[in-house]
Amino acid sequence: TRSRAVPASGSARTSDGKPNFSGIWQAINEAHWDLQAHEARAGAVTEPGVYPTYEFARVPAAPVLALGAAAGVPGSLGVIEGDGEIPYKPEAAAIKKENAANWIDRDPELKCYLPGIPRAVYMPYPFQIVQSTNKIQMAFTFANAARTIHLDKVEGPPDDTYMGHSVGHWEGDTLVVDVTGFNGKNWFDRAGNFHSASLHLVERFTPIHRDAIRYEVTIEDPETFTRPWRIAMPLYRRLEPNVQLIEYPCIEFAEEFLYGHVRKKQLVKRWEGETMIIDVTRKVPPGDRFFEWYRK
């Protein structure tokens, strides 16, 4: 068995005395689905269900209905510090609501776009940190995404990007990263929470012990939010003896979703312009007593 966790002061360190974050890490929470506190619910809905006063008792959208419980959203206490709310401007709050209602059509993740920061950090997949004295490289499972945190002076790229431009420095044992240069095409989660190209992040990575990091992000975007706000969560080291990143080339799964409408021989029921129309038919196994009882 592994020994009991040791204090941060006993964590592994690099040759220059800084905490060594090299390894494979993963967030274990529900922020990927929704940063805010929420009850369990369907992934996407179309109309009120049998309890119209209960916000989440609704009929799921057809593609979600076809996946059953696998498309559900697990409940969460949320990861937003303070009052737990995202301080949207009124016009941005309206866009967020539209995003949530049209999640399947709008979420960049479903199209296999690069996830952006901070979303890449708390997606339900591991990521790897490789650390040197002047660079920290992060490689993410999803979409083969990657980022470099520059600990030396490096000019930003000429164009904005999905992953932004990251410049870091140390404050004691805490790695502080300033991130700018976003293209504004990312979301924070599957709930439709979004930002503009004016997003500015300050990340803080603080060792809790050798196998856990406290991850905090201060989020500022004057085009979208009325004030800065912050999320926080632990990141855990993957401890399997043979742990490694397994490639997730998701573009292969999104290809039909993105370009299927131009296929000569259609693979889905039908397309209306660039909209995929999916009919859902449930087949009940013969002699399914539970289904017969439920139907009565």
- Per-residue pLDDT reduced to its tens digit, 232-272: 999 999 999 999 999 888 877 776 666 666 666 666 666 67
- Per-residue pLDDT reduced to its tens digit, 6-60: 444 457 888 889 999 999 999 999 999 999 999 988 777 766 555 444 555 566 6
CATH superfamily, domain 9-38+75-237, is Calycin beta-barrel core domain (2.40.128.20)
Q: What is the pTM of this model?
A: 0.82
Q: Under 8 Å CB-to-CB from 256, ≥6 apart: which residues?
A: 263, 267, 268
Q: Under 8 Å CB-to-CB from 147, ≥6 apart: which residues?
A: 117, 120, 137, 138, 140, 163, 164, 166
Q: Domain extents for the chain?
A: 9-38+75-237
